[in-house]
Structure 1
Amino acid sequence: MFTGILINKDESGYRASCEQIDEALLPEGEVTVRIDWSSLNYKDGLAITGQGPVVRRFPMVPGIDFAGTVSDSRDPAWQVGDKVVLNGWGVGEAHWGGLAQQARVRGEWLVPLPAAFSARQAMAIGTAGYTAMLCVQALERHGIVPDSGDILVTGANGGVGSVAIALLAKLGYTVVASTGRSSEAAYLKTLGASAIIDRNELSAPSKPLGKERWAGAVDTVGSHTLANVCAGIRYRGAVAACGLAQGMDFPASVAPFILRGVTLYGIDSVMAPQLVRREAWEHLGRDLDPAKLEAITHEIGLSEAIATAGQLMQGRVRGRVVVDVNR
């Protein structure tokens, strides 16, 4: 038996509970992992609260990432005792995930725990930080350098936004943070933001083209915000889009793309191939300030995950939440 969060949906309704689970119920997979740490992401909040159609089969253990130690393996790439990290691959949605003390997964979904990080630090980064790194890499590959101009980060208080700010600042970029919580301005500046703007500047319908303000952007919000971000990007700039906190729609025009040569990069962290994942984690080990990482992280026990998921969906959680699955 092991402890985990279990989501069920039946005639009694949709519910999540923290309970004892029989090991015999673990899904198919070549590698069994004793989980040391997990984290709580926006998608996990949707899954636990039922506010979005994230879970695709029931019962489901949520948790889109985890870090732990291999306890059994039928995959020659992994040996008992190996330290591993998992992000995405539908885990916590279609395959039992990381908000539990054990997981069984396909070996190809795992990457080695980087030597630069402990398991806790890897989950402080988690899917959110790994996604932020993919966004930053997209802007770098586009040719945007610190001298190109300001970089906008929307949803700045969230996990992706917080890590993106810390990464960009460490790399020498001037970062503008967009947030709906003006009370968090000091926090965002400690991460490296040079200026703060209210999210209301970007969240309403606007013109197809606006003033050229930013060389690039990391957008975690979508909808009108993403449309306004694209409309304010400088000539031949770029936007890395990875989220939909405001909505999945994109009420924009082609004007920024054909008149200013703006590029919109879609960032997929869930199904990214191994090479891309390993490169992102390697860069995180080099470019992320451990002190900044600790500043954006707070810790909860597994028994607190359900209540914290509700707070997350209410916009009352900032930065990263790591989950000690053993308490």
Structure 2
Amino acid sequence: DFKGLYWLEKFVRDFPGGVLVVSHDRKFLDNTVTRILELDSTNHAFNQYVGGYSDYYAQKQKDLEKWEYLYEQQQKKKKKLELRLALKKQEAQVYDDPRKGKQVRAIEKRIEREVEDREIFQPKSQWKINRLSFSGQTNSGKLMVRVSGVSKRFSNRTILDDVDFEIRGKDHVLLRGENGSGKTTLIKIITGQLQPDSGTVKIGDNVHYGYFAQEHDILNHAKTALAEFSSTPGLKNPQTDPRKTLGAFLFRDNDVFKKVSQLSLGERVRLIFAKLTNQENELLILDEPTNHLDTMSREAIEKSLLDYSGALLIVSHDRYFLGKMKLNRIINLENGVVKEVYET
């Protein structure tokens, strides 16, 4: 939870020795590290950057732009020299002049010296999710969901106690609380996976919602990725080849025929987002949606959610992600009770 993250950050910052961290938590990296070592498997490179994640990301973009510019400049020079070489070879064949042969050899040596010996390879982009767009919109006053007097107990422990709140219009809401405070239980009650002991949940009239489950238990693990996607209710374009859609979410070739049970956690996350982005939903309920994703995929999902015109109910410990979501409300759960509702 957040308290644990803050404690760990302070521990790392105050540690008197060196610390080597492997993490996708961008805010944690911003707050703790002074240098980032990157293993770029796409371009077979090892890179070092000074600063935290934000410094790394900004410098990485500049480096890629410079690399692409230098590559293009070298390609222009190469084409110019090759064209000149071709003309000199033609002249050497037409004219019986030893100087023409010397000119040909001089240009060949120049190409070898200035291009081949210093060849710049075109930088490759890392595979990332593309054509990602969440569909669905609503007006500002429309009821999305109302939770009234919801309580839930497991054995002798009260998880939720008379919880009340509602979400309307384009609210972007964070449901916050310590581990075990009842966040996921409440989400499962809202989505109908659990029944409350008392109280009611009302989904607004004609409201369609999409749900990202933290444990990915909304997926049928016995199906293939292709069959699971194809069975998604309310697909926007059912006539589109689902393999093409899944390809945009990094499912390559025979990956689509893997059983869901055989998919990695990151692949399962991408499959859920493939389903959600191919529906029309006025409300998205996202329970730890960035877990198990690489930073490139997180950036892509964040960008798409910022363009989404519906309501959001989010549970997340990813502070970098939350900082981008333009939250206007924070519902705080403490010991199963809504203690405060913050307007931000």
TM-score (norm 1): 0.26
**Higher strand share goes to which structure?**
1
**Higher helix share goes to which structure?**
2
Q: Which has the larger radius of gyration?
A: 2
TM-score (norm 2): 0.25
